[in-house]
Structure 1
């Protein structure tokens, strides 16, 4: 059962990445996702041509749309027009899940609140992705991942050294959105299981702020236990190593970085010293025991920094390849996209785009039954309106009338 969501119909009234990313994951898992887009404007994200300074489109292939929308069908529907209501009702009646990230005021205006949707389909699972949750003072406020997840959610503070002159920014576009989308997908899977087991439906909300707090929970929990904020990190690598020379990052001679994470330093010290070609450090009296290695960690760090800084990254890839201790290269986006482990496990998946060209995208991280992900491209704007409405029982004359009324595209 490598596509466990086959047979599940999800109606998505959402845009940008946060909630649509959940639909993409569920599409990877086999669900039929019908994406409702504004009848004239479409998903607002289709208009973004530059994100974080990068061009987002390459011909008809736009990763910013393909990533969170692959495998879906698009319907252009003017929810603000009364003529579209019969279409919406049929879509809701035939769906297991209603998925949205519209703000409460917009949902009330468009008639897609929980009460509106449940009046049509009492058993539907209603899911909202929000900035700050469905309760509290900020329930009506919008939020992007840069604000709700990254800044307010603690990651910006946690990744900014106290000596920095500016706050660090997210390492990738839609960083928190994609993490949040995966969280929503898991919540939907749990709700579907619960409904199948008990017959009771669910209302789900996942906020970017809550996802941010979950991601940074270690320091949040520590702060709550201490009764005060945890201090900002120092840019000094000695502070980052936590008195462990085998837990931290080191720069190679060609300006690359390797990250060590050997939490039991004394256990791995002999093997690591042999791997870097300095057996003499094994018997060095300064590092002879765990206690001494901890006490003299600054000296050990200086020695390792000097040794690692003598050779380029490829030298260390080969030297450290087979050691038991945990380490990794600090990879760039191309290296990650071509990573052998990701490729071998099918987490970089191929599909054919609208022009018939083979493209690649990062697959969702969950692998079922060691099977490859079956991925198809993102839909063009309103590409499947006629197809989906025909499935709902609308004939050609009704489609023409709806188009003339401006209710569908």
Structure 2
């Protein structure tokens, strides 16, 4: 893997997942990330015991690992002048300052743009927020289930009337991880711009803005048609029978997404053992296939439910159209494509406990980025402080006064 971020130092003052996961990606790609944690409790994520759906193992805190892999940790009291001085000295040696603190908190802690830039005019200043840096809710905190999922239209976009409830995100930190990718890309763009022009900039990414971008095509259609985006009713007949999910005999689902229905209908008829349907007048061309979509769907539904998933895997292996198996997370882990491309990486905690994480989604040099473990709280504190030029007596004094962990 080409470590494209090697030589870049990121200074992070952030907690939870949304913003920390961004610097975790940069660490995967070679950046040095110094994570500033609360001097007593550390990142609040360290104490999270449950997602609300699943209990987090006490052996390996995989959610902490997901968003903090490859970093160095320093516990620091930013409310003290001495702690703030340490932060400023680190900022003076960093390329990027990354935070998810709200505007009011940043001002109180004296870590806003002006304070950080006063110690390093060339630093890229990055803010991750819930609803954006401006507007009436700029100072209100949020989570991805709120700003990304509920407020940006994703929940309504998958909400069927027959559910009788608002669907929850499909997994923990779902919007956070999308937002983290967006922040990481923004940082890399800002660094490239600085390299080319010498000009530094501010990078702003919000969960709301990221969610709206994820729904960008739906927003474009909604604004054009002047109607909110909602999924079609379950009972609605699709115009294209080859863009459907079909149940197999053993309860699995196969997803077809053949947008050119007339092109792929004849070879699919061969796959299901009904070549006669290719010349059936009801399905002879795109117009007739669309007009008789309901009949085609009934035929395909009956065909697919007549065989098991393993049987369909063999029958569809050489099918020229686009299809896949609808998989759960563990099935995706064992997918041959996952293995071939290194999308899951092995890792071990500081205590040697094994665990696995999803690799960074961008690969450089035709290799997946190796995943390193997250730091223990303040694991690198002494090394970071002495590298700043603080002598050991000064470090001990800061420890005794509770300024550093």
TM-score (norm 1): 0.96
User: Cα deviations across residues 14-56 of structure 1 (Å, max 9, x unaligned)?
Assistant: 0000001101110111000000110111111111111132112
1:6-405 map, 5 Å: 6-59=6-59, 61-236=60-235, 238=237, 241=238, 243-405=239-401
Could you tell me how far 1:231 is from its partner in structure 2? 4.2
Could you tell me how far 1:237 is from its partner in structure 2? 5.5
User: Cα deviations across residues 153-172 of structure 1 (Å, max 9, x unaligned)?
Assistant: 11100001133200111111
Does the 8 A contact of 1:73 with 1:384 survive in 2?
A: yes
C-alpha separation between the residues in 2 aligned to 1:355 and 1:281? 62
Could you tell me how far 1:372 is from its partner in structure 2? 3.3
C-alpha separation between the residues in 2 aligned to 1:71 and 1:205? 23
Could you tell me how far 1:83 is from its partner in structure 2? 2.2
Does the 8 A contact of 2:359 with 2:370 survive in 1?
A: no
More deviation in 343-352 or 261-270? Answer: 343-352
Does the 8 A contact of 1:8 with 1:32 survive in 2?
A: yes
C-alpha separation between the residues in 2 aligned to 1:55 and 1:195? 43
Does the 8 A contact of 2:76 with 2:83 survive in 1?
A: yes
User: Cα deviations across residues 234-278 of structure 1 (Å, max 9, x unaligned)?
Assistant: 12262xx3x000001111122211111000011011111111222
C-alpha separation between the residues in 2 aligned to 1:170 and 1:276? 35
Does the 8 A contact of 2:264 with 2:321 survive in 1?
A: yes
C-alpha separation between the residues in 2 aligned to 1:150 and 1:195? 33
C-alpha separation between the residues in 2 aligned to 1:317 and 1:391? 57
Residues 231, 375 of structure 1: alpha-carbon distance in 2 compared, 3 angstrom cutoff: closer
Cα RMSD, aligned residues only? 1.3
Number of residue pairs the alignment of both structures matches: 405
Could you tell me how far 1:58 is from its partner in structure 2? 4.7
Does the 8 A contact of 2:158 with 2:230 survive in 1?
A: no
Does the 8 A contact of 1:342 with 1:348 survive in 2?
A: yes
TM-score (norm 2): 0.97
Does the 8 A contact of 1:70 with 1:377 survive in 2?
A: yes
C-alpha separation between the residues in 2 aligned to 1:231 and 1:123? 45
Does the 8 A contact of 1:162 with 1:235 survive in 2?
A: no
C-alpha separation between the residues in 1 aligned to 2:5 and 2:229? 42
Could you tell me how far 1:281 is from its partner in structure 2? 1.7
C-alpha separation between the residues in 1 aligned to 2:236 and 2:49? 38
The secondary structure found in structure 2 opposite 1:55 is: coil
Could you tell me how far 1:324 is from its partner in structure 2? 1.4
Does the 8 A contact of 1:151 with 1:157 survive in 2?
A: yes
Could you tell me how far 1:341 is from its partner in structure 2? 1.1
Structure 1 unaligned regions, length at least 5: none
Could you tell me how far 1:232 is from its partner in structure 2? 4.2
C-alpha separation between the residues in 2 aligned to 1:137 and 1:343? 47
User: Cα deviations across residues 134-179 of structure 1 (Å, max 9, x unaligned)?
Assistant: 1111111111000000001111000011332001111110000000
The secondary structure found in structure 1 opposite 2:302 is: helix
Does the 8 A contact of 1:237 with 1:248 survive in 2?
A: no
Could you tell me how far 1:360 is from its partner in structure 2? 1.6
Does the 8 A contact of 1:95 with 1:124 survive in 2?
A: yes
Residues 231, 366 of structure 1: alpha-carbon distance in 2 compared, 3 angstrom cutoff: closer
C-alpha separation between the residues in 2 aligned to 1:318 and 1:168? 35
C-alpha separation between the residues in 1 aligned to 2:222 and 2:18? 28
Name segments (4+ residues, structure 1) moved above 3 Å. Answer: none
C-alpha separation between the residues in 2 aligned to 1:125 and 1:408? 25
Residues 12, 131 of structure 1: alpha-carbon distance in 2 compared, 3 angstrom cutoff: same
Could you tell me how far 1:85 is from its partner in structure 2? 2.1
